[in-house]
Amino acid sequence: MSYLEYTVKTTPTGPGKMLHLNWPLVVLLMAVAGVGFLMLYSVAGGSLSPWAEPQMKRFALGFAIMLMVAMVPIWFWRNMSLLAYLISVALLIAVALFGIEGKGAQRWIDIGFMRLQPSELVKITLVMLLAAYYDWLPMSRVSRPVWVALPVAMILFPVALVLRQPDLGTSILLLAAGGVMMFIAGVHWAYFATVIAAVVGLVFAVFESRGTTWQMLENYQYRRIDTFLNPDNDPLGAGYHITQSKIALGSGGWTGRGFMQGTQSRLNFLPEKHTDFIFVTLAEEFGFVGAISILGLYTLILVFCISTALSNRDRYSSLLTLGVAMTFFLFFSVNMAMVMGLMPVVGVPLPLISYGGSAMLVLMVGFGLVQSAHIHKPR
Amino acid sequence: MRRPGRDTAESQRRITRRGLVIGGLQAGVMGVLALRMRYMQVEQADQFRLLADENRINIQLIPPTRGRLFDRNGAVIAENIPSYRITMTREQAGDVDAVIARLAKLVELDPDELERARRDLRELRGDTPVTVADRVSWGAISRVAVNAPALPGVLPEVGLSRRYPANSDYAHVVGYVGTVSDKDLERIDAPEQLLRLPRFQIGKIGLEAKRENLLRGSAGTRRVEVNAAGRVMRELDRQEGQPGADMQLTLDNALQSYTNARLEGESAAAVVIDCDTGDLLACASAPSYDPNLFVRGISVPDYRALLDDPYRPLPNKAVQGIYPPGSTFKMVTALAALEDGQVALDDTVYCPGYAEISGRRFHCWKRGGHGNVDLHRSLRESCDIYYYEMALRTGIEKISAMAERLGLGVQFDLPMTSVAKGLAPTREWKQANRGQPWMIGDSVNTAIGQGFVLASPLQLAVMTARIATSRAVTPRLIKSIDGVEQPTGHGDTLGLNENLMREVRKAMFAVSNSNRGTAYRSRIIDDAFRMAGKTGTSQVRNITAGERASGVVNNRDLPWERRDHALFVNFAPFDAPKVAVAVVVEHGGGGSTAAAPIARDITLQALYGEDPPLDAYPAADRGRIKTLQEKLRRARPKTGPDGKDRA
């Protein structure tokens, strides 16, 4: 369906677009971000600096960007998909060549006023490209090997670059989001069965290769897996994070210890308490009620995204919205599973709550696209 | 329309179907997350609450006690003594400057140390304890403890610090420990948590570094209750770590101390090796330095002084110093030629004082020549011409092979820093390293231990022990680890013709005991302990034709750094060799005058186990020796019968 087929008369224009925003979604996003400010205020020991205030400014910027993206018709974004993807991949290559090293990995590129993390950017542009690709591809060809190989290459190229940085968390996120996009677009299930079988084989091989000359992961990655499987072995070393994180979370109980009363966070037993482990502080201070509420807010965001996606007759819009929702889902589920000891620590932030610029801005752009699809859906 | 409507409708249905499948999966995952939350926060909450409270219960590392070092008789070489320090934690201190000001009223704070501490307090993580005063007195510690409430975040701590009671005697062998530096941490893959403890000491050089893994031990842990300010209230339980292994070295404290004292004032090295076991009984390099200075952290001027000293106190000349062995190499050339059948024991070579070889004139040290020289005389009087001839007959390959058989050009596996390999040169070596073919003149130079050949005092001592015993004696430094005796370096037979070996030893005996021998003046009179030796003088400079003509060859007329190295190797007693000794005096002049007397004194000290009676010395020397013995006794700290009360 091309944009020429939209009944232009019924598509809102001008300031009228504001009325057609998916307002429940906007409110939900603001609520989640608000919780984030509160938590950052708390982990800083009841202070707006150093985290809460910059985070608010970033959210304000992100919110403005979201509205701007939303106002632009979705067909423009569809036409921009390939270009956006190419730019983000070019930035990834630039990072590999001239990037700044931080914490042992090469992830940032300095663009003057801020440090950009292209691996974050690619999470959205990959979804955009895949949505545009399946929008263009006739249904009858979706499962033909050649037409399956092409999107696989689109996914694997940035994944390879991100893996080289090395950033295992983001690579897994990209792979999962890309795979789900292909699944939703209707690629035959047999492909997925094959890939899943191969992955199981690969995991086996990764473990077998340890200590041999063809060792497949870095030593620190193996150590993280060890720590995950048995954190008590090394309570002062690598297992420290997971053990402390579980203690903090569990000690929250039903209703938590109260705002700014979490002893784990107060006494600095928690690592990275303002970024990847912020959910733990929340769970410690607001208990099961608080934690399940956040999960509820996230679920509602997903529900609204999926419902607008399924009611949208434009294929690009549906796929894009589902893709953004999937990315968002992966962010928070991987983060929560990680801090609850269900997954190895891979360094994925809690969306809209963790302190950090790139991830938040990219998510807001994603939701801007979702809003644009919602406003400009065929009526 | 670009696509038929059916396709669109079908695709829309499929997206809906699959979107719902994915939605279902997501719901499943969130269900799992919710259940996990419920499980942890509701069902196991009490248990985790308990653990969280216990987090006021801290797990702390107990640094292991570093293994101690003893000499072969049990005298202490390296030990651990309690040391008190004051640490500070930024987060708990709050106002760092105010607390430091209050602390300064109680304890004397070193300005340099304080500046470094302030920087660390600013830059390190807020919960890292930073040392603000080290090696403080017990009095200062108690003042801090009493005033604890006024000093939040300040913690008096007791730790162990390394001490080397013999000060400079073992500096080169044992080395020293020091605080772990950032550079050390970078070198180690996945450093243990232990190394990150403030002021944890690891071996930096010498045995301390080479056997770090054995000496360090492994950390224990203890669980302590801390209050909200992080102060330890009580200890709940502890899991002891494994202390480092205690090691007994083969060195003899009394002999090591004597050797160091005897070398005083020279730039020299001496090695004493036990002929039976290969045990290093003494291994000294002079001048030495005090390793305790390095443990504390040496000051810049002190370190500069050590670096700028022309006598170079820092390197261990006994094992890492390599010198042309000079005439001490002649046994090697002799054995190579004899074994190869190029010369018989009584064959003579005529020495006119020089030899013309491929158009160049090579001189003997004795300008007038020795006349007819056989093997015995060639060693006794150290005739060079005989060895030039041997080189021409035998060839460099056989000489080099014999050198390696006797331990020259071989790197011994000893736990000391930079144990030198030396060099037993071959044709291939010169081609590969100098890019030039081997010349006949190179063989001639090598035959008298000049030119390319290089050996450390350690290697010369090993060579002498091997000549004395006909066995492949190898040096050993560690006698036992935690009471477990280590394999000795007794060695198997070298497989050389014993008849020839005996003649070489006899000639070495004549060096020291015949009145025509080059070291006759440094002989031992005591019949039970007579020694066999060989002098060596290795040229540092080339003697120019002009110098030779004008007669300026006397070492005394030259600046120190251009004088010859003096060498002496010997073993004793002659009949049943117990010890082999090598002495090198850098720029000392002649081997017979500068090195042989030192080697003789060390040998007697080793054989008697104490100051030898004066009648072991030639009558003419006794007065001088008496004075020397008294001087050295004063220089050395008092040693008990078993060396144990030395501290």
Give the DSSP letter string of B87-136.
EEEHHHHSSHHHHHHHHHHHS---HHHHHHHHHHHHHS-TTSEEEEEEEE
Mean pLDDT of A334-343: 87
Does the CB of A315 have a partner CB in chain B at under 8 Å?
A: yes
Question: pLDDT tens across B224-262, in order?
Answer: 766 545 566 667 777 888 899 999 999 999 999 999 999
User: Looking at beta carbons, which residues of chain B come within 8 Å of A309?
Assistant: 19
Scanning B274-426, the segments in alpha helix (DSSP H) are 291-296, 300-308, 317-320, 330-339, 375-380, 384-394, 396-405
Comparing CA positions, the residue from A155, A174, A159, A2 lying closest to residue A78 is A2
Cβ-based neighbour number of residue A285 at 10 Å: 25
Question: pLDDT tens across B313-358, in order?
Answer: 999 999 999 999 999 999 999 999 999 999 999 999 999 999 999 8
Q: Minimal Cα–Cα distance from A367 to chain B, Å? A: 18
Mean pLDDT of B528-536: 93
Cβ <8 Å between A247 and B55:
yes
Nearest beta carbon to residue A237 from set B48, B49, B193: B193
DSSP letter for each residue of B539-553: -SSPPPHHHHHHT--
What was the pLDDT predicted at A85?
94
What was the pLDDT predicted at B122?
79
Among A251, A311, A316, A330, the strongest candidate for a mutation testing the B interface, having the largest count of B CBs within 10 A, is A251
Beta strands B484-485 and B478-481: pairing type? Answer: antiparallel
User: Looking at beta carbons, which residues of chain B come within 8 Å of A2?
Assistant: 2
User: Looking at beta carbons, which residues of chain A come within 8 Å of B26?
Assistant: 302, 326, 329, 333
For residue B643, pLDDT over 50 is answered with: no
d(CA A121, CA A359): 8
C-alpha angle with apex B356: B350 to B359, nearest 5 degrees? 165
What was the pLDDT predicted at B87?
85
Catalytic residues of B: 327
Cβ <8 Å between A295 and B45:
no
Cis ω for the linkage preceding A50 (within 30 of 0): yes
Q: Minimal Cα–Cα distance from B215 to chain A, Å? A: 22
What was the pLDDT predicted at B4?
46
Cβ <8 Å between B1 and A5:
yes
Comparing CA positions, the residue from A309, A366, A315, A375 lying closest to residue A2 is A315
Cβ <8 Å between A291 and B61:
no
d(CA B531, CA B608): 14
What was the pLDDT predicted at B646?
37
Nearest beta carbon to residue B37 from set A184, A247, A292: A292
Q: Minimal Cα–Cα distance from B1 to chain A, Å? A: 7
Cβ <8 Å between B33 and A333:
yes
Q: Minimal Cα–Cα distance from B501 to chain A, Å? A: 51
Among B7, B40, B239, the strongest candidate for a mutation testing the A interface, having the largest count of A CBs within 10 A, is B40
User: Looking at beta carbons, which residues of chain A come within 8 Å of B33?
Assistant: 295, 333, 336-337, 340, 342
Contact A1, A378 (CB under 8 A): yes
Cβ <8 Å between B23 and A333:
no
What was the pLDDT predicted at B225?
67
Mean pLDDT of A256-276: 69
* Average of per-residue pLDDT values in chain B: 87
- Lowest pLDDT segment from A240-254, A299-313, B160-174: A240-254
Touching A: B residues 80-119, CB under 8 Å: 91
Cβ <8 Å between B15 and A283:
no
Beta strand segments in B367-483, E: 371-373, 478-481
Nearest beta carbon to residue B3 from set A138, A291, A340: A138
Amino acid at B39: Y
Does the CB of B146 have a partner CB in chain A at under 8 Å?
A: no
d(CA B361, CA B393): 18
Mean pLDDT of A352-366: 88
Q: Minimal Cα–Cα distance from B57 to chain A, Å? A: 11
What was the pLDDT predicted at B551?
54
Superfamily of domain B58-249: Penicillin-binding protein 2a (Domain 2) (3.90.1310.10)
Contact B512, B570 (CB under 8 A): yes
For residue B43, pLDDT over 80 is answered with: yes
For residue A239, pLDDT over 60 is answered with: yes
Among B16, B22, B32, B41, the strongest candidate for a mutation testing the A interface, having the largest count of A CBs within 10 A, is B41
Which residues face B471 on adjacent strands? Answer: B493
Which helix (H) or strand (E) segment holds residue B427: the answer is helix B427-434
What was the pLDDT predicted at B177?
94
Does the CB of B7 have a partner CB in chain A at under 8 Å?
A: yes
Distance of CA A291 to the CA centre of its chain: 19
For residue A169, pLDDT over 70 is answered with: yes
Does the CB of A337 have a partner CB in chain B at under 8 Å?
A: yes
Contact B83, B198 (CB under 8 A): no
B3 pLDDT band, cuts 50/70/90, is very low
What was the pLDDT predicted at A65?
92
Of the ranges A264-273, A343-352, B537-546, B633-642, which is most confident? A343-352
Does the CB of A96 have a partner CB in chain B at under 8 Å?
A: no
Which residues face B155 on adjacent strands? Answer: B87
B275 pLDDT band, cuts 50/70/90, is very high
User: Looking at beta carbons, which residues of chain A come within 8 Å of B2?
Assistant: 1-2
Contact B450, B324 (CB under 8 A): yes
User: Looking at beta carbons, which residues of chain B come within 8 Å of A178?
Assistant: none
Answer whether 0.80 is exceeded by the pTM. Answer: no
A32 pLDDT band, cuts 50/70/90, is very high
Chain A and chain B share a number of CB contacts under 8 A equal to 145
Residue of B nearest to A305 (CA): B23
Cβ <8 Å between B34 and A295:
yes
Please, is A229 exposed, middle or buried when counting C-beta atoms within 10 Å of its C-beta (0-12, 13-18, 19+)? exposed
The residue length of chain B stands at 647
What was the pLDDT predicted at B531?
94
B543 pLDDT band, cuts 50/70/90, is low
Amino acid at A357: G
Does the CB of B553 have a partner CB in chain A at under 8 Å?
A: no
User: Looking at beta carbons, which residues of chain B come within 8 Å of A220?
Assistant: 190
May I ask the CATH class of domain B260-291+317-635? alpha beta
What was the pLDDT predicted at B645?
40
A256 pLDDT band, cuts 50/70/90, is confident
Does the CB of B239 have a partner CB in chain A at under 8 Å?
A: no
Cβ-based neighbour number of residue B475 at 10 Å: 25
Q: What residue spans define the domains of chain B?
A: 58-249, 260-291+317-635
Strand order, beta sheet including B57-62: B57-62, B220-226, B232-239
Nearest beta carbon to residue A139 from set B10, B20, B33: B10
What was the pLDDT predicted at A12?
75
Cβ <8 Å between A247 and B18:
no
d(CA A249, CA B44): 10
